[in-house]
Amino acid sequence: MTFKPALIAVDAGSTDPGPYYLGTGEPLAPRIAVERELEQLLTAVVAEGIPLVVGSCGGSGRNDQVAWTVEIVRDLAHEHGWHFRMATIEAEIPIETVLAALPILEGYDAGPATHMGKILECGAFCADPFGMDVILGTLDEQGFTLEPGSLGRRCTVATVAGHSLYERENPYIQAGPGGYVDMTGTQFIQVDERRVRVTGTRFMREEPYRVKLEGVRPSGYRTVSVAGVRCPTMIERIEPILADVRKRMNAYFAGCEAFNLLFHLYGKDAVMGPLGRKINCLPHELGLVTEVIAPTQELAHGICHITTGTLLHYSYEGQKNNAGNLAFLHSPSEIDAGPTYVFSLYHLMEVGNSRALFPMHLEEV
């Protein structure tokens, strides 16, 4: 707070953890962590009399996650005897827009403001060494200057410019609500050891106004089973064995609703799945995650149980051990993981009146 910032802004959301949180409305972070961080942030902004902006509350910014966060804020305010005006905006809205919103409202150029917002949303990720703590952005008429909050970090031209690469396809052009940020003419200057100045970023407005729309849909229920394989006779034949078990399961459950049976072979090609080139070497141990996604939890559980049971007592040529093929990690050996979701929508939508999509509520706390 020695930097005397004009506002503090944090990003509570991400699509990184997958579609589940937007699908269910379950908060991504545990309540205890959100309480602790909001308490620190509110203590600081209440003392300074500056705004606090929290984007994509609860992980996805769903209305129920916004309400959950608002409830925590009200509780904290009550506990500490704080009074302030709180605005909540319902709908999913990208955080860089939220971070840039106040500066643009105060008349700053949307180019540098939005570019700065895009960098600040990841905190000190644009510093060396990178971290998840704070970064201070100072906006002026021509551009902005970045400085890490922690004295143990520094911003360099490479770390700041390099941030334009992160999690996006095009480092020069980045689409946002109402237009795109053009960084083809952007200049990065090392001001001193810890600060970098950025100028020349332009915001190109587009008509009609478009906003990003994210959507998920339910895709069934999941059951998983975790087991290890140590026997070399099994490891040598694991692929044909799994293929045969899959064939048997398709026959066994032929009359049931469609399901997805997945084997993840950790120690072989589980991590890169369809992308990696196959590497032909035999590990001394394999981790097998059997996963079933089916229209009901009961069916997913049943298929998972029969599949791992078939594999447990599967007999094959060259087998020396007839007591069981899987070292199960747990009892019960199946874990019902609940509903699953998939991203079904992720695009820019044309809107006539952008404000009507994002209703705002004001209250005095």
- The nearest distance, CB 167 to another protein, in angstroms, is 5
Q: Does residue 297 interact with another protein by CB under 8 A?
A: no
First to last CA, the chain: 24
Q: Does residue 336 interact with another protein by CB under 8 A?
A: no
Pairing mode of beta strands 286-294, 327-328: unpaired
Take residue 60 and report the two structure tokens written for it: 């996805």
Q: What b/e readout covers 332-342, taking b as 16+ CB neighbours within 10 angstroms?
A: ebbeebeebbe
48, 50, 55, 59 alpha-carbon torsion, rounded to 10° = 20
- The nearest distance, CB 21 to another protein, in angstroms, is 10
- In the window 4-33, what residues touch another protein (CB under 8 A)? 15-20
Pairing mode of beta strands 327-328, 360-364: unpaired
Q: Binder to another protein among 271, 329, 349, 365 (CB under 8 A)?
A: 271
Take residue 289 and report the two structure tokens written for it: 């995650």
Peptide bond into 332 cis (omega under 30): yes
Q: Does residue 148 interact with another protein by CB under 8 A?
A: no
- The nearest distance, CB 270 to another protein, in angstroms, is 6
DSSP 177: T
Q: Is 155 helix (H, G, I), strand (E, B) or coil?
A: coil
For residue 3, which of 133, 198, 142, 183 has the smallest C-alpha distance? 133
- The nearest distance, CB 346 to another protein, in angstroms, is 6
Q: Binder to another protein among 47, 165, 243, 329 (CB under 8 A)?
A: 165
- The nearest distance, CB 238 to another protein, in angstroms, is 17
Strand-pair partners of 287: 228, 266
Interaction pattern, residues 89-128, with another protein; x per rule: CB under 8 A: ----------------------------------------
Take residue 49 and report the two structure tokens written for it: 């009399």
Q: Does residue 176 interact with another protein by CB under 8 A?
A: no
User: What is each CA distance from 24 to 20, 62, 242, 327, in whole angstroms?
Assistant: 6, 9, 33, 33
One-letter identity of residue 203 = F
- What is the Cα–Cα distance from 265 to 286, expressed in whole angstroms? 7
Q: Binder to another protein among 106, 167, 257, 298 (CB under 8 A)?
A: 167
Q: Does residue 221 interact with another protein by CB under 8 A?
A: no
Interaction pattern, residues 227-266, with another protein; x per rule: CB under 8 A: ---------------------------------x-x-x--
One-letter identity of residue 239 = E
Interacting stretch for another protein, rule CB under 8 A, among 45-53, 114-122, 309-317, 334-342?
334-342
Q: Please, which residue, 55 or 103, has the CB nearer to another protein?
A: 55
Q: Does residue 193 interact with another protein by CB under 8 A?
A: no
For residue 132, which of 18, 248, 37 has the smallest C-alpha distance? 37
- The nearest distance, CB 94 to another protein, in angstroms, is 11
Question: Using CB under 8 A as the criterion, which residues of the chain lie in contact with another protein when the complex forms?
Answer: 15-20, 157-158, 161-172, 186, 188, 219, 260, 262, 264, 270-277, 291, 293, 340-343, 346
